[in-house]
Structure 1
Amino acid sequence: MQTKTEIIAVGSELLLGQIANTNAQFLSQQLAELGVNVYHHTVVGDNHKRLEETIRIAEERANIIIFTGGLGPTKDDLTKETLAKVLGTELVTDQDAMTYIEEYYKRSKRTMSENNKKQALVLKGAQVLKNEYGMAPGMVLKKNERIYMMFPGPPSELQPMFLNHGKPYIMDALGEQDKIISRVLRFFGIGESQLETDIEDLIEGQTNPTIAPYAGDGEVTLRLTAKHAEETTAIQLLNGLEEKVKERAGAYLYGYEDTSIMQELVKVLLDQKLTISAAESLTGGLFSEQMTACKGTSSVLLGGIVCYSTEIKEKLVKVRPETLENEGAVSDQCARELAENIRMITGSDIGIGFTGEAGPVAMEDKPVGTVYIGIAINGKETKTYLLNLAGNRDGIRKRTVKYGCYYLLQLLKSKS
């Protein structure tokens, strides 16, 4: 079956910019793994006439039409009613869904309003998809050589419903017998354009496995996906492609799947039984905050000082007055002393210092985005790093923390 898919997101709140259309992103990523071609994303408000027009347009250009949203109990939830009209079918009550809704209200000791019964209505002849995390069930109906799929709008309901019921349905409809295995590779310190350039021939020549690059938050990820009837063979295909990628950009690979660069740093610190402390100026405690969100941090992070003002740098972190006067708070020497002194003050194995101009206005004679990171490891020469970052204040601070993790990981890996 040659697939041409359209995803229709229903909800005026999407058009008003009140929420982001993350459902379309999620579905496109999942469908790409199945080799299903998504040709159009459409967003339409809670309006019966416009939704009907949208459905008829989609029918002209797609044979799989996926709806998100508009399955709830209120009057502006119009998806299944409108689709029923377009298809010339009727809505009937699904007794399992109705029982589930009634029992939910009994358990919560709440009175069920009459309009909640609407959520149990389904298209006649449709396969009903159970909603394990909400009340409105999803639906799949095959008619006129097309597949119509309906999912609730909340991502917490849509995602498990699609993974548990929608995805297997599509695989069965396509006659998909192959095992589909994906692996996410995470990179930092290299831009998306440079990474794509380094592996351009692999991307252009991809068949099986495939490569899908994504960029965000200063990082780049590659999703590698392989298909084969035998899972072990699919894994071997992934391993072979990963090795080719690592030959080109392995120096920037820091982890896999849903990890973060901070989580990877904590793992290495735990493995090497090292402690760390931080002196943070422009990051304002962000490094320590992110580290304490990771498991095992109590064995790693001894403490830190948010030394935002020049006075605190001097009084608490013992940065020399002559450094602040002659070099400035935003300087290589200041970052060096922050790292060395916080290590000595706390007795940690590693000290890390952050100083710089996050903006929006520079306080010294350095341009916004100028950042210095100092790393002092016991028994090793202190390292300092200069960054010139673009973007807004929040982005500069977040990327500064990630660069601190990245540089420290490089030092610790070379040490081992």
Structure 2
Amino acid sequence: MNAEIVAVGSELLLGQIANTNGQFISKQLASIGVDVYTHTVVGDNEQRLNFALKEAHNRSDIVILTGGLGPTKDDLTKETVAKFCGKQLVYDAEALNYIEAFFKQHNRSMSPNNKKQALIIEGAQVLANRHGMAPGMLLELDAGKKIALLPGPPSEMKPMFERELLPLLLGANDHAAITSRVLHFFGIGESQLETDLDDLIETQTNPTIAPLAGDGEVKLRLTVKHGDPTEAVRLLNEVEEKIQARVGKYLYGYDETTLVGEMYAMLKQQGLTIASAESLTAGLFSSELAAVAGASDVLKGSITAYGNDVKESILGVSAATLRNFGAISEECALEMARGVKHLFKSDVAISFTGVAGPESLEGHKVGSVIMALVFADGTEKTIRLSLSGGRNAVRKRGVKYGYFHLVEELKRRNGSK
């Protein structure tokens, strides 16, 4: 079975609200093996909705519409679907009683247009709405095709989908569930990753391999369709092993993880605390870490040291270092990290210095980034980067590289225990 999701509402096209319904339904359908090939968003216009419905019906086994079931004149989904199917709208007694009881219970008078919400398409299977007014519907058409109508508000749509529509779809599908695994990579570009895995991607069948780029990282989504959960996991493991053999050194996590989340988890697991000294990044490293729930377990503190006088007076960077090597140097980065580690008595320290732009500084090009890592056992290392992009892109990417190198070092240390 394949499906198309049609979200109805001009507010979606205007960007006033996000189409979270589409995301939710796609995930739910994938879990029962229903393939979603197309998402469509259409405004509150009968002609355009009819066209979208016709196109969706022609290419899909089931069309799921969300929105447009309310009491106002621009709520015209069921009217349009009824005309498309050549059917009449009739009142559903149970839905009407429910709506009337609601208004009576809340001591409110029911306006005539609210009665409209109890209208259903003749012959449709009613999907009860226990979190709102308008019931949903499932229509069985010729050749086994189906059209489902669900309300737009997520608080109504989600429970209706899970409790009313999903059991009906389960009975009609082959139960071959779709299982996905997302691999997160950093330090390799999307084009290089695709090049390294080109033959695997070209010959993919089941599981499939889909590269996903965004926010300075690259992800691979592995998707398998199988009726046996154990076999599905085996197939995913098999293809992941092939991928890891080629680009495993760039892999840092799975599914919903993030670089900062991985770093936090590893610091907490190893019982370590961290402090940061930030010139180039101006607190961005510690700010993103602080956004992680439980960050206080690992984050001791941070110093934003833009000016050289602050580097000297607060972090203890020597005047000789600044005079002889400059603020954008490995020597300065190391002294910054040592200083903040001593100041906050942390187990680990990281520092950032460099040139975000728009002009070069101390003879260093825009995008030059230097970071230093210092550990309690005396281990110290510096990393030089040459990053592209605008001022804020350099700062953000520099922070991501900081997380990545910390994760790599913490993995190495954990493995050596």
Question: How would you bin the TM-score normalised by the shorter chain?
Answer: 0.7 to 0.9
Q: Does 1:192 align with 2:187?
A: no
1:371 and 1:50, CA in 2 relative to 1: closer, same or farther beyond 3 A?
A: same
- Superposed counterparts of 1:52-71, under 5 Å: 52-71=50-69
Note if contact 1:11-1:70 (Cα within 8 Å) is conserved in structure 2. Answer: yes
Shift in alpha-carbon separation, 1:200–1:104, aligned structure 2, 3 A: farther
Cα distance between partner residues in 1 of 2:389 and 2:131: 38
8 Å Cα contact 1:33-1:225 kept in structure 2: no
Aligned to 2:147: 148
Distance 1:316 1:206, change over 3 A: same
Change (3 A) 1:250 1:30: farther
The 5-angstrom pairing of residues 3-402 of structure 1 reads 3=2, 5-21=3-19, 23-24=21-22, 27=25, 36=34, 38-94=36-92, 111=108, 114=111, 115-129=113-127, 136-145=134-143, 146-154=145-153, 158=157, 162=161, 166=165, 169-173=168-172, 175-359=173-357, 361-362=358-359, 364=361, 366-402=364-400
Alpha-carbon shift at residue 15 of structure 1 (Å):
3.1
| Structure-1 separation of matches of 2:71 and 2:360 | 55
Q: Give the deviation of 1:343 after TM superposition.
A: 0.7
Name the aligned partner's letter for residue 227 of structure 2.
A
Q: Structure 2 length as normaliser, TM-score?
A: 0.83
Alpha-carbon offset, residue 412 of structure 1: 1.3
Greater displacement, 112-121 / 180-189: 112-121
- Structure 1 Cα separation of the partners of residues 410 and 226 of structure 2: 38
Look up the SS of the partner of 1:314 in the other structure: helix
**Structure 1: distance between partners of 2:126 and 2:324:** 72
> Which residue type is aligned with residue 359 of structure 2?
A
Task: Check the 8 A contact 1:209/1:227 in 2, yes or no.
Answer: yes
Alpha carbons of structure 1 residues 83 and 390: separation in structure 2 relative to 1, 3 Å: farther
How far is 1:62 from its partner? 3.8
Q: Which residue of 2 aligns with 1:408?
A: 406
User: Are the structure 2 counterparts of residues 53 and 228 from structure 1 closer, same or farther at C-alpha, using a change threshold of 3 Å?
Assistant: closer
SS in 2 for 1:362: coil
Shift of 1:23: 4.7
- Identical-residue share of aligned pairs (%): 53
Deviations 1:43-87, CA, capped at 9 Å, x for gaps: 322222222233234344444323233333433222222212222
Structure 2 portions without partners, runs of 5+: none
Instruction: Report the more deviating stretch, 112-121 or 53-62.
Output: 112-121
TM-score, structure 1 length as denominator?
0.83
**Aligned residue identity for 1:144:** D
Amino acid at match of 1:362: E
Q: Say whether the 8 Å CA contact 2:356–2:391 is kept in structure 1.
A: yes
Once the two structures are superposed, what CA deviation does each residue of 1:166-207 show, in whole Å capped at 9, x if it has no partner? 55544533x313344332222222222222232333322222
Do the aligned partners of residues 105 and 405 (structure 1) sit closer, same or farther apart at CA in structure 2, a change above 3 Å counting?
Answer: farther
3-state SS of paired residue (1:189): coil
Structure 1 residue 410: deviation in Å?
0.7
Counterpart-to-counterpart distance in 1, 2:166 and 2:400: 35
In the comparison of the two structures, how many residue pairs are matched? 411
